[in-house]
Amino acid sequence: MGFLNPLLLISALSVGVLILIYLSARSRSTVEVSSLLLFEEAQIAVSKARFLKLDLLFWLETSALAALSLGLAGLYLKMAPAPTGHRRHALVFDVAAGMGAHEGSRTRLDEAKAQALGMVGSAPPGERFAVVSFAAQAEVQRYFTADLGAVRAAIKALRPFDVATAPAALAAALMRVRDADRIDLFASRLPPGAGALDKLDSARLHFHRIGTAQDNAAITGLDPGIPRVSPGHCAVRNLSPHPVLANVEISLNGRGIDRVAMILEPHAQGNLKFGPLPTGGVVQALIGTPDALLADNLRYAYAGGSRSLKGLVISPDPAVREDLARVLRAVDPGSIVVAGSADQMTPAAVAKALGGAGQPDIAIVHDSVADAISASAKLFIFSPPGGQFPVKATLPASQMDDRTDLGPLTRPLLLGPTRSLSLPEWMDPVAHGTAPHQSGLLTLAAAGISAHGPEAVIAFDIRGHRLLDPDMLDTLVLTIDLVKMLTGPRDVHVVSTGAYVTIPAGAPARVIAPDGSVLQVAPGYGGLIRFRPLYAGRYQVSIGPRHETIYANYFDAAESELSVSSTAESGTPLSQVIDLDSGVRARRIQPLTAALVMLAMAALLVESAVLLRRALRGGASLV
């Protein structure tokens, strides 16, 4: 129930006007007496005076005015959907990496598709189907249609992506089909917050748990080390309740350099040490032992070459300059680092310090404005007002909760002063967090490629040796990762699946995916192309005569653990977001204006009949 125009309820004041009319009529009542019986005493009946005479006419007029007032305000009722004559049936599929796990000769998604095709084949004539998929985001493959051929084609075309399931994507998928008469959800597991979906609205929502528990080993990390200086490390994790054998091969630029066979205990992790590498290039780690999920058996990393990194550090704090110089030396022990404050680091001073050997490979600018400094890449830390990015607020503290490439931190990391920045569209978040008295997520680190080259920003302050504090190791790792990304080669990119890749391009790009499919991407804002690698492996990008290579890595602890047991609940229950318990189908709005007007007319007609009857019985004086 509701009102289309609640402001018109002010017309209900007409009932008050009616009461005033009755009160006024009561105060001016008259008594007729005979003129021949002057001054004669007569006994009159004693009656109790009433302040307001509420007779049948009053209630009829009040009912008419109330009905007209409600009609003007647009009173309506929420009714059940009008019957369509044919049932609407929604088929919702999880297409995240876990559904690509092999069980025998086919995948879990193949099993879900077979069940759905059986439902389509046994459907009664006229039943309409919708096909919706979700992983990192929801996508409607086919909306409600009675064309069963098109529905079958949409189901058969589904493919699993090498990304994790997002709870928001499942919520969006169910919202797309919330007016369905029946919803069949196919997934190997439900994401956090959705564990109770199969217990709600069981008349329409049916959860089909697909697959059985499978053994799986995954490469969770790969550090190439420093060529000819320090060895590299590869982390392999057993995500199953049984021991597994993993044959791990390490290769550099396509040539094998190490091979190790290891037996991993249930839910244990093994570390493989290799190198130092003889030279720089693309390092690949591969689990050769077949298991259920192939996407997390491959991982790439890039090892820098033999050139010495030329770095520039600008900060008003000498201790910060020393810490950042150590970070650059950790990335490249042979690097040349020039440090100073913003007023010291003029272009002439920088050129002199570097011996006129061209511009720096990277400039790290902390709490300073250095617009005149030119560098191949720039990292801004705790950018001040008037700097590269507009500052919305300076917060006394914040905490880091997750990284977009690594997932949630094992524990939130408390940080010091933090800037809330307005970041440009071409920058993608790298780390998120929260702050006291601030709603929503706070972007603590971001990176991207502008027209001037690669740029990154860290929003929190690093004073007080926060980079070297053992209890704040995540800040050091984040800074090193950003420096490696900014100083890496321009034609080789190592990214996570599902993350956007941004490449400067003055013409449309031709992208060849790992499975051989071809994608055409047109340049957008700022002459940049952006796309999301959804499969692990090697992507080849051609932009005219220029060629670039993208290596996409996949790993997600929850998605790669191929059990089918329910996960622990966390966060807001998804059922509250989707409102499944009261019915997912859209309600029909039924205005009552016509009925209320007819009710008011009926009340007025009854009043007219009562007045006519009184006039016929006692004359016009009783009306």
Q: Where are the domains of the chain?
A: 2-79+592-622, 88-213+573-578, 217-303, 310-488, 490-553
Phi, psi of 72 (to 5 degrees): -65, -35
Dist. CA 173–CA 136, nearest whole Å:
11
Task: Please state, in angstroms and rounded to a whole number, the distance separating the CA atoms of residues 238 and 266.
Answer: 6
> Beta strand pairing status for 205-209 and 182-187?
parallel
**Identical fold between 310-488 and 490-553:** no
Strand 106-107, strand 537-543: pairing = unpaired
H helix count then E strand count, the chain: 11, 35
- ω into 429 cis (within 30 of 0): no
Q: Which residues of 213-250 are buried (b: 16+ CB within 10 A; e: fewer)?
A: bbbbbbbbbbebbbbeeeebbbbbbbbbeeebebebbb
Identify the bridge partners of residue 55 per DSSP, sorted by sequence position: none
36 phi and psi angles, rounded to 5 deg:
-90, -5
Q: Which fold has domain 88-213+573-578?
A: Rossmann fold (3.40.50)
**Other C-beta atoms within 10 Å of 488: how many?**
16
| Predicted local confidence at residue 201, as pLDDT | 47
Query: 474 CB contacts (<8 Å, ≥6 apart)?
Result: 400, 409, 413
128 touches 115 (CB < 8 A)? no
CATH number of 217-303: 2.60.40.10
Cα–Cα dist 395/14, whole Å: 55
CATH class as words, domain 490-553: mainly beta
Q: What is the pLDDT of residue 583?
A: 43
Q: How far apart are the first and last CA of the chain?
A: 39
Query: Mind spelling out the 3-state secondary structure of 263-282?
Result: EECCCCEEEEEECCCCCCEE
Mean pLDDT of the chain: 84
Highest averaged pLDDT of the listed ranges 18-27, 217-226, 484-493, 570-579: 217-226
Residue 420 has a pLDDT of 93
One of 3.40.50.1860, 3.40.50.720, 3.40.50.880, 1.10.3720.10 is the CATH number of 310-488, namely 3.40.50.880
Distance CA(327)–CA(12), nearest Å, equals: 74
- What pLDDT was estimated at residue 43? 56
pLDDT in tens, 240-271: 999 999 999 999 999 999 999 999 999 999 99
Residue 161 has pLDDT above 90, yes or no: yes
Cα distance between residue 618 and residue 148, in whole Å: 77
pTM of the model: 0.68
d(CA 214, CA 210): 12
Q: Which residues have C-beta within 8 Å of that of residue 467, sequence separation ≥ 6?
A: 323, 324, 326, 327, 475, 476, 479
Q: Quick one: pLDDT band at residue 431, thresholds 50, 70, 90?
A: very high
Check: CB of residue 181 under 8 Å from CB of residue 89: yes
Which pLDDT band, with edges at 50, 70 and 90, does 111 fall under?
very high
The DSSP-derived string for 277-323 is -SS-EEEEEEE-S--S--GGGEEEEEE--SSPPEEEEE-S-HHHHHH
